[in-house]
Chains A and B, each alone.
Chain A
Amino acid sequence: MTPELTVINSQNHLNLRVSPLPTRESAAMNAVSVIPHEFPRLLAHYPIFFIKSQESGRFEPVALLGFDQGENLFFSNERWDVDYVPLQIMRHPFSLVRRPMAEGVPAALDLAIDMKSAQVRDDGSERLFSEDGKATKFLEERASMMQALVTGSTEAFNFTGRLAELELLESVQVKVEFVDRSEKKLQGLYWIAAAAVEKLTAEQLVDLRNRKYLEWMYFQMASLAHVSGLVARKNRLISGVAR
């Protein structure tokens, strides 16, 4: 469904109520774009890979959520079943939109809401504004989440740009077999090549550490242990074991 984005203001949206929880719609994806700032939290549950952005061909980090198009193995029975939900999903139903160009108006982004989102509902637990028109804590949190995503996306591209420059990324084909003997090959994924990391010079390593990149690299590499967890989730689904 095409979103219907409306810039938020206290007059029009004073009484609007939204649900803060992800819905089937916002969760229906098998990989979600993530930012380095989230890596420590993601590390608890999700395998992190890199994919190429369709827009720019540059590498971006993603958390893998499932094996088939639209399959999110972390979302079942209308709820997210681990405690950390990636920002790119939590942000719903909000977006940032470019402020229309006009003379004297500096380029800026405005916080908008998707009025068609299933999270916009009369019985939603959260309001955007209090009675006196002040932004609620909820709205402020979501606004800062959006800000974090914008900054984080730039950080992520700088990070992967450096990784590519140092030829630390390699293409990987993830091949998994499920309990029913069916197989799945995931294409278009990249990871950090451990062998290439070993060849880095001391100088390069220090530089990576100073930019926090080294830390992020190890988070990514460690997160791959969760691929087997993801397979287990799929297996439970296949064998119909209730979770």
Chain B
Amino acid sequence: MVGGGTAGWITAGVLAARFPQRGPDGISVTLIESRTQPPIGVGEGTWPTIRSTLKQIGVTETDFLRECEASFKQGSKFVGWVDGSSTDAYYHPFTLPIDYIERNLAPYWLEGTRATSFADSLCFQTRLCDHSLAPKQITTPEYAGVANYAYHLDAGKFVPFLQKHCVDELGVTHVLDDIQGVEANDAGDISQLLTKSGTPLPGDLFIDCSGFAALLIGRHFDVPFISCKDTLFIDKALAVQVPYETEEAPIASVTLSTAQSAGWIWDIGLNARRGVGYVYSSNHTTEEQAADELRSYLQKNALSYRSININSGYRREFWVGNCVAVGLSAGFLEPLEASAIVMIELSAKSIGELLPGFRGGLPQAARIFNEMFQHRWRRIVEFLKLHYVLSKRTEPFWADNRRAADVVPDYWRQHSPWHEDFSHREEVFSAASFQYVLYGMGFEPEPMPWLLNDTDRARAREKMAEAARHGANLRAALPTNRDLLSRIRKYGLQKI
């Protein structure tokens, strides 16, 4: 692993845990971290996959929550994305619509009065999110939940937490040094990395987690970067850390995403503070205007923020020879659906599963990996764009978004998203996500009478009532995020 940020340590952890044997019959995992390049610490939002990733790496949920200032995330809430009116908000919760595995009940919601929103009708979880409730109880075992969840975390604490576990428990070798050169063999594969200290680092597989620097995939292999800026206009972010007003202030259950004139503001509640930021298009507003909008969102007069450039896009290929790019070196997109960390997890998992036993197997592994991840990046871009093209906002940024759309959702006009539309294994965004966003944003398909029948109509009515009941029961039974997090600090969670 080249690079000691989130990507480097997650990948090191996943691989070292998957292949626990060191020595001549096992594999050795080494991570080289620059002394001079501090990690960026991407994103504070995750996907529910993070729970199985952390469990597999072998850390306890209690330690993770305590040490990474983490809180529970049950989805996203989009405010003002449709028209900016006072009631304009919808959820994209992590829990699937009720009956999702068996039947698509969306057409029955569509044919109804729609007095209750799509997510409220088919998913109990929105009721928990409305009240800042936790997705589990103190008696729920580690990594289990009564509602599907991920975390908001402090990346600045997550990295040292993973590092300690990887080094102390999983036998990952941690080298602090700077890479000064790459030595390749005749076939073009990397044979060793040359370092500032003079000790070369040989290896069989090199994973480029060096962030935007892209030391191996970019500088050495010169793999072209496919920019998405024609599709996704966001290219700047202003980020701030905001303390809670009081110690008892509720910790939100979702990432709040509020549309602005030239982008949107993220608002993430951690255990001890909020992380807030405005991602915007510099073609549509200035930094001063953006800072003004952020100030007005936070109702603050003064603000000290960090300004970050976002270069949306990804590599044409991720795996070349014996080198794989993971994390920012592979690509980066605006954090609208928190895809950064989940892509790291998926990459690490795929590398572990594909890892061939001999050099000759590398081209095949590379081909499979590249096809899979090209598909994934494309699909994420398409899904992010969907949020913009469904908007009816009139500011130039939003109007331009609709004009430039190359993902016009015509397909969905006479079709409701379902499993076969997303045929790859582990699609980042499934039919459920498309349903939540399409119908959450008030997308109006044509009538689809061929999708309806009386048996399922009766079932849909029952299931919607069941979701409402379940939500009401859980609302009474679940603690608030803040209450549960403080209990976990005090007592910890049980493994069983």
Using a CB–CB cutoff of 8 Å, the interface residues on chain A facing chain B are 52-59, 164, 167, 169-171, 188, 190
Q: How far is the CA of A57 from the CA of B140 in the complex (A)?
A: 8
Q: Mark B451-495, 1 if CB is under 8 A from A, else 0.
A: 000000000000000000000000000000000000100111111
Number of interface residues of B (CB under 8 A): 12
Knowing A57-B137, A57-B139, say if A164 contacts B495 (CB, 8 Å). yes
Residues of B within 8 Å of A53, CB to CB, are 139
Main secondary structure of the interface of B (DSSP, over half): loop
**B138 in the interface, Cβ–Cβ < 8 Å?**
yes
**A55, A170, A188, A190 pick with most chain B CB within 10 angstroms:** A55
User: Which residues of B from 83 to 142 have beta carbons under 8 Å from A?
Assistant: 137-140
Residue in chain B with minimal CB distance to A169:
B496
Q: How far is the CA of A55 from the CA of B496 in the complex (A)?
A: 17
**B139, B140, B487 pick with most chain A CB within 10 angstroms:** B139
Residues of B within 8 Å of A52, CB to CB, are 138-139, 494
Residue in chain B with minimal CB distance to A57:
B138
Taking the closest CB of chain A, its distance from the CB of B83, in whole angstroms, is 44
Q: Are A56 and B490 in contact (CB under 8 A)?
A: yes
Q: How far is the CA of A58 from the CA of B137 in the complex (A)?
A: 12
Residues of B within 8 Å of A171, CB to CB, are 496
Q: Are A58 and B494 in contact (CB under 8 A)?
A: yes
Q: Are A54 and B494 in contact (CB under 8 A)?
A: no
Residue in chain B with minimal CB distance to A51:
B139
Residues of B within 8 Å of A58, CB to CB, are 491, 494
Taking the closest CB of chain B, its distance from the CB of A50, in whole angstroms, is 10
| Nearest 8 Cβ contacts at the A-B interface | A57-B138, A56-B491, A52-B139, A57-B139, A171-B496, A57-B494, A58-B491, A57-B491
Residues of A within 8 Å of B140, CB to CB, are 57
Q: 25 A-B residue contacts at CB 8 Å?
A: A52-B138, A52-B139, A52-B494, A54-B138, A54-B139, A55-B487, A56-B138, A56-B487, A56-B490, A56-B491, A57-B137, A57-B138, A57-B139, A57-B140, A57-B487, A57-B493, A57-B494, A58-B491, A58-B494, A59-B494, A164-B494, A164-B496, A167-B495, A169-B496, A170-B496
**A56, A164, A171 pick with most chain B CB within 10 angstroms:** A56
Residue in chain B with minimal CB distance to A170:
B496
Residue in chain B with minimal CB distance to A160:
B494
Residues of B within 8 Å of A190, CB to CB, are 496
Q: How far is the CA of A23 from the CA of B251 in the complex (A)?
A: 44
Residue in chain A with minimal CB distance to B490:
A56
Residue in chain A with minimal CB distance to B136:
A57
Q: How far is the CA of A143 from the CA of B332 in the complex (A)?
A: 66
Q: How far is the CA of A52 from the CA of B492 in the complex (A)?
A: 12
Q: How far is the CA of A188 from the CA of B494 in the complex (A)?
A: 13
List 14 extra interface pairs beyond A57-B139, A57-B493, A188-B139, CB under 8 A.
Answer: A52-B138, A54-B138, A55-B138, A55-B487, A56-B490, A57-B140, A57-B491, A57-B492, A57-B494, A58-B491, A58-B494, A164-B495, A164-B496, A171-B496
Taking the closest CB of chain A, its distance from the CB of B143, in whole angstroms, is 14
Residues of B within 8 Å of A54, CB to CB, are 138-139
Residue in chain B with minimal CB distance to A164:
B494
Q: How far is the CA of A167 from the CA of B494 in the complex (A)?
A: 10
Residues of B within 8 Å of A57, CB to CB, are 137-140, 487, 491-494
Residues of A within 8 Å of B491, CB to CB, are 56-58
Taking the closest CB of chain A, its distance from the CB of B61, in whole angstroms, is 12
Taking the closest CB of chain A, its distance from the CB of B373, in whole angstroms, is 38
Q: Mark B194-211, 1 if CB is under 8 A from A, else 0.
A: 000000000000000000
Q: How far is the CA of A120 from the CA of B138 in the complex (A)?
A: 36
Residues of A within 8 Å of B490, CB to CB, are 56
Q: How far is the CA of A170 from the CA of B140 in the complex (A)?
A: 14
Taking the closest CB of chain A, its distance from the CB of B477, in whole angstroms, is 10
Residues of B within 8 Å of A59, CB to CB, are 494
Q: How far is the CA of A188 from the CA of B139 in the complex (A)?
A: 9
Residues of B within 8 Å of A164, CB to CB, are 494-496
Residue in chain B with minimal CB distance to A167:
B495
Taking the closest CB of chain B, its distance from the CB of A115, in whole angstroms, is 31
Residues of A within 8 Å of B492, CB to CB, are 57
Q: How far is the CA of A188 from the CA of B137 in the complex (A)?
A: 13
Q: How far is the CA of A167 from the CA of B487 in the complex (A)?
A: 22
Q: How far is the CA of A58 from the CA of B495 in the complex (A)?
A: 10
**B137, B138, B490 pick with most chain A CB within 10 angstroms:** B138
Q: How far is the CA of A58 from the CA of B492 in the complex (A)?
A: 8
Taking the closest CB of chain B, its distance from the CB of A94, in whole angstroms, is 27
Q: How far is the CA of A167 from the CA of B40 in the complex (A)?
A: 38
Taking the closest CB of chain A, its distance from the CB of B356, in whole angstroms, is 36
Residues of A within 8 Å of B493, CB to CB, are 57
Q: How far is the CA of A59 from the CA of B138 in the complex (A)?
A: 11
Residues of A within 8 Å of B139, CB to CB, are 52-54, 57, 188
Taking the closest CB of chain B, its distance from the CB of A96, in whole angstroms, is 21
Residue in chain A with minimal CB distance to B487:
A56
Q: How far is the CA of A52 from the CA of B494 in the complex (A)?
A: 9
Q: How far is the CA of A52 from the CA of B142 in the complex (A)?
A: 13
Taking the closest CB of chain A, its distance from the CB of B462, in whole angstroms, is 24
Residue in chain B with minimal CB distance to A165:
B495
Q: How far is the CA of A52 from the CA of B496 in the complex (A)?
A: 10
Q: How far is the CA of A55 from the CA of B487 in the complex (A)?
A: 8
Q: How far is the CA of A164 from the CA of B496 in the complex (A)?
A: 8
Taking the closest CB of chain A, its distance from the CB of B231, in whole angstroms, is 46
Q: How far is the CA of A59 from the CA of B495 in the complex (A)?
A: 11
Taking the closest CB of chain A, its distance from the CB of B291, in whole angstroms, is 44
Taking the closest CB of chain B, its distance from the CB of A44, in whole angstroms, is 29
Q: How far is the CA of A164 from the CA of B494 in the complex (A)?
A: 8
**B140, B492, B493 pick with most chain A CB within 10 angstroms:** B492
Q: How far is the CA of A52 from the CA of B139 in the complex (A)?
A: 6
Q: How far is the CA of A171 from the CA of B496 in the complex (A)?
A: 7
Q: How far is the CA of A85 from the CA of B490 in the complex (A)?
A: 33
Taking the closest CB of chain A, its distance from the CB of B80, in whole angstroms, is 39
Taking the closest CB of chain B, its distance from the CB of A135, in whole angstroms, is 36
Q: How far is the CA of A44 from the CA of B279 in the complex (A)?
A: 69
Residue in chain A with minimal CB distance to B137:
A57
Taking the closest CB of chain B, its distance from the CB of A170, in whole angstroms, is 7
Residue in chain A with minimal CB distance to B139:
A52
Q: How far is the CA of A54 from the CA of B137 in the complex (A)?
A: 9
Residues of A within 8 Å of B137, CB to CB, are 57
Residue in chain A with minimal CB distance to B138:
A57
Q: How far is the CA of A56 from the CA of B62 in the complex (A)?
A: 13
Residue in chain A with minimal CB distance to B484:
A57
Taking the closest CB of chain B, its distance from the CB of A62, in whole angstroms, is 14
Residues of A within 8 Å of B496, CB to CB, are 164, 169-171, 190
